[in-house]
Amino acid sequence: MALSQLFTKKHMAVLTSAVCFVILDRFLKALAITLGQEKVLIKNWLDFSLIKNNNAAFSLTLGFDIVWLAIIITLLAIIWLGFSLKKKEYLISLALAMLILGSLSNIYDRIIYGAVIDYFSFANLNIFNLADVLIVVGAIILLYKEFKAKN
């Protein structure tokens, strides 16, 4: 069965955007590695630089190798994606696809570089990359669907 049979045009547009986001994320990670130095994009607000994040999300330290946990969670999300496609739960499927794509990009970093490559520093508070954005947006959509289903 082709993807076009599983998703509407609207859903395909969102999925295509997510794939483009990952491609842009990989490009920006390569650029950060190549430049290696900080570039101010918007003074006192947004900087672009190479930041290697050895910790988990939000720079939390877990005391164990996060790669295996990330791989297991991603595999579970892939299985959930298969079930949601069978049930024609398209919004959940898109959210899971976003989570999976973002996770795979960050898992790749951990395997190849030993840390996730972050490159945006927001107001010197948050450090993130576009894969993180995909993961967060996917999680928000899943939470929204869960709360909507309960109400």
Cα Dmax for the chain: 50
Q: How far apart are CA 123 and CA 38, in angstroms?
A: 13
What pLDDT, on a 0 to 100 scale, did the predictor assign at position 102? 94
CB 32 within 8 A of CB 48: yes
Q: Which residues are catalytic?
A: 118, 132
| DSSP three-state, residue 124 | coil
pTM: 0.82
What's at 72, amino acid-wise?
I
Instruction: Spell out the per-residue pLDDT of the chain, length 151, in tens.
Output: 565 566 667 777 777 888 898 999 999 999 999 988 778 888 878 888 898 988 766 566 665 567 788 889 999 998 998 888 788 888 888 899 999 999 999 999 999 998 899 999 888 778 899 999 999 999 999 999 988 888 7
Residue 145 CB neighbour total at 10 angstroms: 14
145, HSE (Cβ side, Cα atoms, 13 Å): 15
Q: What is the pLDDT of residue 56?
A: 66
The residues, ordered by sequence, that sit 6+ positions from 100 with a Cβ below 8 Å of its Cβ are: 74, 77, 78, 81
Strands 116-122 and 126-128: antiparallel
> Residue 59's pLDDT is what?
60
Cα(92)–Cα(80) distance, rounded to whole angstroms? 9
Beta strands, E only, the chain: 39-42, 46-53, 116-122, 126-128
The structure tokens 């547009």 sit at 13
